[in-house]
Chain A
Amino acid sequence: MNLHEYQGKQLFAEYNIPISKGKVIFSPDEVIDACNEIGGTKWVVKTQVHAGGRGKSGGVELVDSPEKALEFSKKWIAKRLVTYQTDSKGQLVNSILIEECTEIKSELYLSAVVDRESQKIVFIGSSEGGVNIEDVAKNYPDKIIYQAVEFKDKNLADQSIDIANVLKLNDDQTKQFIPMIENLLRLFVENDLSLLEINPLVIDDNGDLLCLDAKINIDSNALFRQPKINDMYDETQEDPQEAEAAYNDLSYVSLDGNIGCMVNGAGLAMGTMDTIKYFGGNPANFLDVGGTATQERVTKAFKIILRDPEVKVVLVNIFGGIVRCDLIAEGVIAAIKDVDIKIPVVVRLEGNNAELGAEILLNSNIRIISINDLAEAAKKSVELAK
Chain B
Amino acid sequence: MSILVNKDTRLLVQGFTGSQGTLHSEQSISYGTNIVGGVTPGKGGNTHLDRPVFNTVEEAVKEVEPNASLIFVPAKFCKNSIIEAAEANIKLIVCITEGIPTLDMLEVKKTVDKLGVRLIGPNCPGVITPGEAKLGIMPGDIHLAGSIGIISRSGTLTYEAVKQTTDIGLGQSSCVGIGGDPIPGSSFVDILKLFEDDKKTEAIVMVGEIGGNAEETAAEYIRDNISKPVVSYIAGQTAPVGKRMGHAGAIIAGGKGTAKDKIEKLKKCGVHIADNLVSIGEKVSEVL
> Residues of A contacting B103 with CB < 8 Å?
114, 189, 192, 219, 222
**Known contacts A119-B106, A277-B237: A253-B156 contact under CB 8 Å:** no
**Known contacts A255-B240, A277-B238: A219-B210 contact under CB 8 Å:** no
Q: Are B102 and A288 in contact (CB under 8 A)?
A: no
In the assembled complex, how far is the CB of residue B263 from the closest CB belonging to chain A, in whole angstroms?
Answer: 11
Q: Are A268 and B157 in contact (CB under 8 A)?
A: yes
In the assembled complex, how far is the CB of residue B5 from the closest CB belonging to chain A, in whole angstroms?
Answer: 18
In the assembled complex, how far is the CB of residue B114 from the closest CB belonging to chain A, in whole angstroms?
Answer: 13
The answer to whether B139 has its CB under 8 Å from any CB of chain A is yes
**Known contacts A268-B160, A291-B155: A275-B278 contact under CB 8 Å:** yes
The answer to whether A88 has its CB under 8 Å from any CB of chain B is no
**Known contacts A221-B101, A267-B156; 13 further A-B pairs (Cβ under 8 A):** A114-B102, A222-B102, A225-B76, A253-B240, A265-B154, A266-B180, A266-B245, A267-B209, A270-B235, A275-B278, A321-B156, A350-B163, A374-B277
In the assembled complex, how far is the CB of residue A140 from the closest CB belonging to chain B, in whole angstroms?
Answer: 16
**Known contacts A114-B106, A117-B213, A274-B236: A268-B139 contact under CB 8 Å:** no
Q: Are A120 and B157 in contact (CB under 8 A)?
A: no
Q: Are A268 and B102 in contact (CB under 8 A)?
A: no
> Residues of B contacting A166 with CB < 8 Å?
none
Give the complex CA separation of A114 and B100 in angstroms: 14
The answer to whether B153 has its CB under 8 Å from any CB of chain A is yes
Q: Are A374 and B159 in contact (CB under 8 A)?
A: no
The answer to whether A283 has its CB under 8 Å from any CB of chain B is yes
Q: Are A275 and B277 in contact (CB under 8 A)?
A: yes
Q: Are A269 and B275 in contact (CB under 8 A)?
A: no
Instruction: List residues of A whose CB falls within 8 A of some B CB.
Output: 114, 116-117, 119-121, 133-134, 189, 192, 194, 219-222, 224-225, 251, 253, 255, 263-278, 283, 286, 288, 291, 319-322, 350-352, 373-375
Q: How many A-B residue pairs have CB under 8 A?
A: 163
Interface residues on B, range: 35 or more
**Known contacts A322-B139, A374-B278: A269-B101 contact under CB 8 Å:** no
Instruction: List residues of B whose CB falls within 8 A of some A CB.
Output: 23-24, 27, 75-76, 99-104, 106, 109-110, 125, 137-139, 141-142, 152-160, 163, 180, 182-183, 207, 209-210, 212-214, 217, 233, 235-240, 243-250, 254-255, 259, 275-278
5 sampled A-B residue pairs with Cβ under 8 A: A117-B217, A119-B183, A253-B243, A270-B239, A277-B238
Give the complex CA separation of A120 and B240 in angstroms: 27
**Smallest CB-CB separation from A114: which chain B residue?**
B102
**Smallest CB-CB separation from A120: which chain B residue?**
B106
> Residues of B contacting A274 with CB < 8 Å?
235-238, 259, 276-277
> Residues of B contacting A221 with CB < 8 Å?
75, 99-102, 248
Q: Are B159 and A271 in contact (CB under 8 A)?
A: no
In the assembled complex, how far is the CB of residue B166 from the closest CB belonging to chain A, in whole angstroms?
Answer: 11
> Residues of A contacting B182 with CB < 8 Å?
114, 116
Q: Are B212 and A116 in contact (CB under 8 A)?
A: yes
Give the complex CA separation of A253 and B240 in angstroms: 9
In the assembled complex, how far is the CB of residue A193 from the closest CB belonging to chain B, in whole angstroms?
Answer: 8
Give the complex CA separation of A335 and B233 in angstroms: 33
B155 partner, pick from A189, A265, A276, A350, beta carbons under 8 A: A265
A134 partner, pick from B240, B249, B250, B255, beta carbons under 8 A: B255
Give the complex CA separation of A319 and B139 in angstroms: 10
In the assembled complex, how far is the CB of residue B102 from the closest CB belonging to chain A, in whole angstroms?
Answer: 5
Q: Are A320 and B254 in contact (CB under 8 A)?
A: no
> Residues of A contacting B245 with CB < 8 Å?
251, 253, 266, 269-270, 286
**Smallest CB-CB separation from A264: which chain B residue?**
B156
**Known contacts A116-B213, A286-B246: A192-B138 contact under CB 8 Å:** no
In the assembled complex, how far is the CB of residue B208 from the closest CB belonging to chain A, in whole angstroms?
Answer: 9
